[in-house]
Amino acid sequence: MYKLQAENVSVWYGTHQALYEVSLASERNQIVALIGPSGCGKSTFLRLFNRMNDFIPGFRLTGKVLIDGEDIYAPHVDPVLLRRRVGMVFQKPTPFPFSIYENVAYGLRLQNRLSEKLIRERVEQALQQSALWDEVKDKLKKSALSLSGGQQQRLCIARALAVRPSLILMDEPTSALDPISTAKIEELLIDLKRSYTIVIVTHNMQQAARISDYTAFFKEGLLIEYGRTKDFFTNPQHPETLRYITGRFG
Amino acid sequence: MPRSLPKRVPKRWGEATLTLFTAAISWSMLVALVGVIGFLVYRGGKVVSWDFITSPMREGMQAGGIAIPLVGSLWVATLALLIGALLGTATGAYLSEFSSKGRLHRLIELLVNTLAGIPSVVYGLFGLALFVVAMGLGASILAGALTLSLLSLPILIRNAQEAFSGVSQELKLASIGMGASPAQTFWRITFRLAFPRLITGYVLAMGRLLGETAPILFTVAAYYLPAYPRSPLEPTMMLPYHLYALITSGTNVARTYPMAFGTALVLVTLTLILTIVAAVLRFRLKKRLHV
């Protein structure tokens, strides 16, 4: 069974169609990169998997979006509970103006009362997984806003990991960061792949090539090409893909 | 040969005049404020003392202090603020966070704006008709507070609306993305982060409520009632109306005029203190939030 799967997905915002019959699937423990020029629908596609598009006025969808074989747009699915299983990291680091500890504990405190001991364990684990523990273990009570941009983004990753999601979505998570912080996060993602499935939108083709197992190329709402990353960049099947990855547009 | 940098252009006349003009106006505002307070201190400073503030009036308002109207004013304004803050914050939250920005939203906004434009004496009349007579509350602290809370609603609604929508959309989305329900996101992120601004608004509104005169005239304020209020269903003396009474109906002007200015000075000082408290609170609360 596929970890995530889209079947003939079309999306509209009002009268504007943002995606056209997209079908794509991935196994677990993979990194799937979504690339393409601005406005191509890659972010819309990403946000289908935690139903973050639901809030956009006029949003409408046909086709099926499945996680672990389950249709997440089925009427009985509670999008709030779905989002607890699907972590999300945004383009700009979005730490809450609370302490480092409370940031990571945020998702845990939303659930039925967990003991403080368990929360403390989970917070530490998540910070270790996101390779931030050594940097912050002595200042967990300090404001999350005192961290650097790269640390803040890793904190947001830790925050997402703390609730043990089964899928992690990332929307250009390194585009606001410097090269060193970017490298750290890329290393981290490759590490996380062992336990998680990750879908990442990126503007940076080198990044897609470095970290992903599969790459999907979107243009004007169409999925132009989807395949193993190493074939995708060395032997693209579609002329549009070749044009894009050789930098002729976008 | 390197090209030289462009020469600095001398400031244009228009720009200089505008700067001067706006600066002069800003400073004259400050002068006006200092002037008003200075005048009050000059005319009423002599009578203001701890005794003036803490003792009731004597000899038919010709001597003694303002303790009773002061307590009455605090009672009414506090109660009005409680009611207004509750309703105003709820409405502001709806407008900013929960409404679907459709027709109902626009209607409420229109109503709020209209409410803000109604003269305060009309509120007084409305309060008299609805709370005092129709609801049978009589001239009482509760009736006055309800009337004042209506008057404060537009400010408190706007305040809440701005406080809530001032919380970054990114953080609200991040919370939703973590699997928080809209209600959880509201309480844990939006309300929590808006709290300092909300409190500031409440305190400033309190300052304004203390000084309102017209809405309390027919709904609560007593001309002369030499006892502290014991229940919200009793009328009470209040500072603005007491001030009015001292100025307009005193038979011994030489004694009551200074007392009137003293009363005004206390009232203005109270408002000033509340303004400062608002600023300090906001700063303190924000610091506690790690903002």
The 10s digit of each residue's pLDDT in A170-218 is 999 998 888 988 998 999 999 999 999 999 999 888 899 999 999 999 9
CATH number at residue A221: 3.40.50.300
Nearest CA in chain A to B182: A80
Contacts of A88 in chain B (CB under 8 A): 174, 177-178
Domain membership flag for residue A6: no
Q: Is the pLDDT score of B95 beyond 90?
A: yes
Q: Chain B interface residues facing chain A, Cβ-Cβ under 8 Å?
A: 168, 170-171, 173-181, 184, 188-189, 193, 289-291
Count the neighbouring beta carbons within 10 Å of the beta carbon of residue A65. 21
**ipTM for the complex shown:** 0.90
Residue A196's contacts (CB-CB under 8 Å, 6 or more residues apart) are A29, A161, A165, A166, A167, A168
Predicted local distance difference test score (pLDDT) of residue A250: 47
Domain membership flag for residue A119: yes
**At A173, phi and psi to the nearest 5?**
-70, -15
Domain membership flag for residue B42: no
Predicted local distance difference test score (pLDDT) of residue A248: 60
Of the residues A80, A109, A161, the best mutation for testing chain B's interface (the one with the most B CB atoms within 10 Å of its CB) is A80
Number of domains in chain B: 1
**Among residues of chain A, what percentage have pLDDT more than 90?**
80
Rounded CA-CA distance A189/A211 in Å is 8
Domain membership flag for residue B121: yes
Domain membership flag for residue A3: no
Domain membership flag for residue B207: yes
Residue B152's contacts (CB-CB under 8 Å, 6 or more residues apart) are B80, B81, B84, B88, B205, B208, B209
Q: How far is B88 from chain A (nearest CA, A)?
A: 26
Mean pLDDT of A45-63: 94
Task: Kindly state the tokens that stand for A243.
Answer: 């044009």
Residue B225's contacts (CB-CB under 8 Å, 6 or more residues apart) are B68, B235, B236, B237
Q: Is the pLDDT score of B93 beyond 90?
A: yes
Domain membership flag for residue B210: yes
CATH number at residue B104: 1.10.3720.10
Contacts of B181 in chain A (CB under 8 A): 80
Q: Shortest CB distance from B180 goes to which of A90, A110, A156?
A: A110
CB contact under 8 A, A110 and B179: yes
Domain membership flag for residue A68: no
Q: Is the pLDDT score of B290 beyond 70?
A: no
Number of domains in chain A: 1
Rounded CA-CA distance A9/B250 in Å is 82
Contacts of B183 in chain A (CB under 8 A): none
Rounded CA-CA distance A100/A48 in Å is 29
- Mind listing the pLDDT tens digit for each residue in A145-163? 999 999 999 999 999 999 9
Q: CB–CB of A11/A58 below 8 Å?
A: no
Residue B122: give the domain boundaries.
71-238
Q: Which residue has the tokens 């099947």?
A: A237
Q: Shortest CB distance from A92 goes to which of B170, B178, B184?
A: B170
Predicted local distance difference test score (pLDDT) of residue B186: 96
Of the residues A54, A82, A84, A96, the best mutation for testing chain B's interface (the one with the most B CB atoms within 10 Å of its CB) is A96
- Mind listing the pLDDT tens digit for each residue in B164-210? 999 999 999 999 999 999 999 999 999 999 999 999 999 999 999 99
Domain membership flag for residue B230: yes
Q: What is the DSSP letter of A34?
A: E
Predicted local distance difference test score (pLDDT) of residue B11: 67
Mean pLDDT of chain B, nearest integer: 90
Task: Kindly state the tokens that stand for A51.
Answer: 């139903």
Mean pLDDT of B200-227: 90
Domain membership flag for residue A171: yes
Domain membership flag for residue A19: no
Predicted local distance difference test score (pLDDT) of residue A49: 96
Domain membership flag for residue A153: yes
Q: Shortest CB distance from A106 goes to which of B168, B178, B289?
A: B178
Contacts of A110 in chain B (CB under 8 A): 178-180, 184
Q: How far is B72 from chain A (nearest CA, A)?
A: 41
Domain membership flag for residue B109: yes
Residue A206: give the domain boundaries.
29-52+76-245
- Surface-to-core class of residue B61, CB atoms within 10 Å of its CB (0-12 exposed, 13-18 middle, 19+ buried): buried
**Among residues of chain B, what percentage have pLDDT more than 70?**
97
Domain membership flag for residue A207: yes
Predicted local distance difference test score (pLDDT) of residue B60: 75
A172 dihedral zone (left: phi>0; alpha: psi -120 to 50; beta): left
- Mind listing the pLDDT tens digit for each residue in B134-173? 999 999 999 999 999 999 999 999 999 999 999 999 999 9
Contacts of B176 in chain A (CB under 8 A): 52, 55, 83
